[in-house]
Amino acid sequence: MRRCRVPTLGEWSGGPATRTEGRHARSRSAGPSPRVVVANALEGQRCHFVPGPLDSLHGARTEDVEILYTQAKEAYFSGIPILSDDDFDNIESLLRYEKSSLVSKGPRCSLRGLNIYSDASLDKGQTFLLASFWSFLSVLSYGCAARSLPGMLHAEAFDTLNVVVGLGFFSAFFRCLLNVLKGNEVAVKGNCPNCGEEVYAFADFKDVEEEECETECLCHMCRRPLVYRITKHKGIIRPIANGEWAYGKIYSKSIAEDYSP
């Protein structure tokens, strides 16, 4: 990553085009500055700055991050990247969280895997319905167990069985509800890479610390096997956030008919 010297407020107001040191400038050795200035590799006389170091862009305006993302993308395609792969992925992840249109794309072909894929985003409606479903079953099972509790106290075998079974179901349903509330189970949606229809699936993360998961299902229209590879935004573990805290890609899985003459 190449950085140019950070101008003062007076220098910046006088025109950043004459104050940058080009793409060959070195970063300061005294530690991260309060403002990060990244030079455009295509146009060495242009710089854009955001209020904070690259590893903490959450306080920056979305417009500033979008400009930085565009410059980094153009520089990458020119063959002279100005950001490392990790920094670029972090910026793209932040823009997905902010629902930026720059990172929203339609179905396209992967040159590396030679398969078609599309973007997947968080389906808050389905996630809310999933949480409501587990909540209803939890309340229902607990109510059945509580209703039979007086009979259990009088040593009635049928009521005792109802309490044991009801509490068992309640424990299982409540764990499922906690998985949704913690963000371990989410609903995602996107366009089928094969037919273009909207599809959705439920992604299940094994624990809170896990940031990626993979699930498979069939398209309900063309019956094409699909693979969902979902990533959870770092630091976000609850589905009450306003941003797109879970996102990923939907890949079209190859089948035998694809290779038939």
Same domain flag for 134 and 175: yes
Is the residue at 149 inside a domain? yes
Tell whether 146 and 238 lie within a shared domain. Answer: yes
Residues 122, 82, single domain; the answer is: no
Q: What is the pLDDT of residues 8-63, one digit of tens each?
A: 333 333 334 333 333 333 333 344 433 444 444 444 435 554 445 555 566 677 77
Q: Is residue 3 part of a domain?
A: no
Instruction: Flag whether 254 is in a domain.
Output: yes
Query: Based on the domain organization, do 152 and 259 belong to the same domain?
Result: yes
For residues 115 and 236, membership in a common domain is answered with yes
Q: How far apart are CA 194 and CA 226, in angstroms?
A: 9
Last residue of a domain, one of 68, 103, 138: 103
Instruction: Return the SS3 of 207.
Output: coil
End-to-end CA distance of the chain: 48
> pLDDT band for position 83 (50/70/90)?
confident
**HSE of 77 in the Cβ direction (CA atoms, 13 Å)?**
5
* pLDDT band, residue 6 (cuts 50/70/90): very low
Q: Which domain holds residue 88?
A: 9-103
**Among the three residues 103, 121, 154, which one is the final residue of a domain in this structure?**
103
- pLDDT above 70 covers what percent of the chain? 63
Task: Go through 137-162 and write b for each residue having 16 or more CB atoms within 10 A of its CB, e for each that does not.
Answer: bbeebbebbeebeebbeeeeeebbeb
**pLDDT tens-place string over residues 139-190:** 999 998 888 877 776 667 777 888 888 899 999 999 999 888 877 888 888 8
pLDDT at position 54: 52
Residues 194 and 225: their CA atoms lie apart, in Å, by: 10
Shared domain for 67 and 114, answered yes or no, is no
The predicted structure's pLDDT at residue 244:
52
Are residues 61 and 176 both part of a single domain?
Answer: no
